[in-house]
Amino acid sequence: MQKYVLGSVALMAAGVTATTIHAQEDAVELPPLILGTALRDDRDIRDIPVAASVVEGEELERRQADTVEELIGDVPGVSIEGGPRSVAQEINIRGFQDEQVVLRFDGGRFNFNRAHSGRFFFDPDIVQRVEIVRGGGSTLFGSGAIGGVVAVETKDVEDLLLPGQTSGARLRFGYSDNGEIWSPSATIYADHGNFDVLAFFGAREFGAPLEDGNGNEILRSEVDTLNGLVKFGFEPTDDQRFELNLSYYEDDGLIPPNANTEADLDPETGNDSERSAEIFTYRLSWDWNPDESDLLDLSVLLYGNTLEIQDDRVRDGRADFTEYDTIGLEVTNRSRFDIGVPVELVYGIDAFRDEQTGTRSGGPRVQFPDAEATTVGVFAEATFGVTERLDLIAGLRFDQYDRDVDDPTLADVDDNFFSPRIGFSFRPNDDWQIFGNVARAFRAPTLTELYNDGVHFPYERVRGVELTNNFVPNPDLEPEESTQVELGARFERANMFRPGDTLRFSANAYYADVKNFIDSVVTPPNFRLAGPPTFATVIGTTTQRNIDAELYGFEAEVDYDAGNWFAGLALTLPEGEAQNGEALGSIPQPTLTTTFGYRPAPEWVIGARATFAGDQNDVPTNGRAGEAYTVVDLFGSWSPQQGPLQNAVFRAGIDNVFDEQYIIFPNELPQAGRTIKLSASFQF
């Protein structure tokens, strides 16, 4: 892995100092990179004390993503688990998985988790921006932010309006040959004074199964999706805005119960199910920021999610129904005042309630029992401008939560937690920032971790008897608690080597001491056959336990843009283990992603991206190690500047150019092989 890092850095350094054509003669000012949703305030990334990344706009568009893994899977510290089927994909940041990371969609939390069912329910084409904060974020976001925060923001009217427009439309047509995926979408939008509206519709339809790098079909990978989104905005005054955001998503396909495993087509033993999912989200927000007041910058958000998944097993018609509903309210204010030093204060309250229901063929389903979870938190975080160059950041949050299950044999749970943070941001000059922070973060056990019961999955059939692995509930699980330390530096400068170029660099090291880390333990069956061949006692178990663990590592990213060419590096070196010496199964592979692009003319962009992943051999006993791989992607676009095709963009790309057979650890299925992607978008 080290040779990849050194070689890529040397290559980039050589490119930066090389003489290039089409040099821009005019100096430019480097625009600030702003984080908003993921910090509850608009902050220049050079002033925050945490590791963070922002992926937006053109950078997202050129990926022509069909899945979230293709959208953000190369961000430092981030790995997308679940394999190539989009409906199974989940987030991993630094070894913190899924529910250990807060997911926010257009501002509202999305808390649903059911193993192997995924957490991302949106069309990548409507995404305008993804903010990722790595490390403990419980001070602002409470339970679940022990690993970080991922905030997905969809396109707004202002992102799409062309100069001089008050209304318009965008049509996009995409095609991927691997899986024969068609992905049309349409967006209409308008801004008329105090009112604005946007409506989006997108679909992804498969014509064949995906194929891996060896040319083998990834059976049951054809899952079609539909996504609709409507936004209404109203600004009664210059300092107020109301917005209603409604989203509908559905997917449909035949998949295994664990969508990250191979399908079993045997009509007698197969457990594949017809899956159909419907997810409805709503967001109603009010923002009020009077110009004459430094004390009032108020945001109020009421949000909700309703999720329904129907799984009908093909073999015997067994019908599983899952419903998960969330409703939440957040009130956040930002104040600025002076107490001898300037202070910026972010504070507020948020509350949310989750309810889950599961049935099996109309009766109770112990694998997903009826249960409720309620969390209420208050928070405050202040930034003190000690000097013009030095800020100190201090924050505190208090959460009270309870978990109630509709089963007299299982215990309810309630607890509370304080989440403090202290950090600093030092700007020795206009280009450099040095930052650090110490934060306490926590995560309350989820309903499924506490109360799952019944059959988890079948192993096989022996002499007509189905051998199973069963869930064992553990209502005594303690909340995860962590103390996290982070140190880092950032550098940003325009006109670095010549007029018009820009350079951004960041690097950080982290350490997390985690108490009561919730770890899944799968025990193999105890083979003990007795009596006639039709009788067997052969049952394995799956349960959750608390262990102590430590996670640590290093991350870095570099982006350089010289106008007619650009390059980037993203490095992730994660480590971690249980404090009893056992390996954790969640630590991703070390990765280095390099990107190089060339703009031969203003309307043309061509480039390549290479991802180098190292081995991951520190795995639990009987676990599967992660093998190293190298994947190369190509991309290009043509956006005519004049004529009848002005405001159109034509894109072409080849993912996995060399048809590499590879698996992203700890996934079980290989990723898709070589994929040719084409798309065209038109605005008018």
**By C-alpha distance, which of 267, 285, 446, 269 is closest to 356?**
446
Looking at the predicted structure, is the pLDDT value of residue 473 above 80?
A: no
CA angle in degrees (0–180, nearest 5) for 193-199-201: 165
Looking at the predicted structure, is the pLDDT value of residue 31 above 80?
A: no
Beta strand 185-192 with 604-613: parallel, antiparallel or unpaired?
A: unpaired
pLDDT band at 22 (very low <50, low <70, confident <90, very high): very low
pLDDT band at 9 (very low <50, low <70, confident <90, very high): very low
64: Cβ contacts below 8 Å, ≥ 6 apart = 70, 174, 176, 635, 651, 653, 677, 679
CA angle in degrees (0–180, nearest 5) for 88-93-95: 90
Regarding predicted confidence, which is higher, 52 or 464?
52
Summarised one tens digit per residue, pLDDT across range 535-557 is 344 567 777 888 899 999 999 99
Write down the pTM of the prediction.
0.90
Q: Please tell me the total count of domains within the chain.
A: 1
pLDDT at residue 327 in the model:
97
**By C-alpha distance, which of 288, 295, 284, 379 is closest to 39?**
379
> Percent of the chain scored above 90 by pLDDT?
69
Phi/psi class of residue 377: alpha, beta or left (left: φ > 0; alpha: ψ in -120 to 50)? Answer: beta
pLDDT at residue 539 in the model:
65
- Give the range of the structural domain holding residue 286, as residue numbers without chain letter: 2-683
Using CA atoms, how far residue 478 sits from 76, 508, 551, 583, 620, in Å, is: 30, 30, 19, 20, 22
350 DSSP β-pair partners: 330, 377
pLDDT band at 582 (very low <50, low <70, confident <90, very high): confident
Summarised one tens digit per residue, pLDDT across range 44-79 is 888 899 999 999 999 999 999 999 999 999 999 999
Using CA atoms, how far residue 194 sits from 198, 240, 242, in Å, is: 14, 10, 10
Regarding predicted confidence, which is higher, 369 or 319?
319
Whichever domain contains 513, its CATH number is 2.40.170.20
111 DSSP β-pair partners: none
Residue 463: count other Cβ atoms within 10 Å of its Cβ. 10
Question: How confident is the model over 449-464, as a mean pLDDT?
Answer: 63
Summarised one tens digit per residue, pLDDT across range 227-270 is 999 999 999 999 999 999 999 999 999 998 888 888 888 877 77
Question: How confident is the model over 113-121, as a mean pLDDT?
Answer: 80
Regarding predicted confidence, which is higher, 261 or 591?
591
Looking at the predicted structure, is the pLDDT value of residue 8 above 90?
A: no
pLDDT band at 620 (very low <50, low <70, confident <90, very high): confident
Looking at the predicted structure, is the pLDDT value of residue 194 above 80?
A: yes
pLDDT band at 670 (very low <50, low <70, confident <90, very high): very high
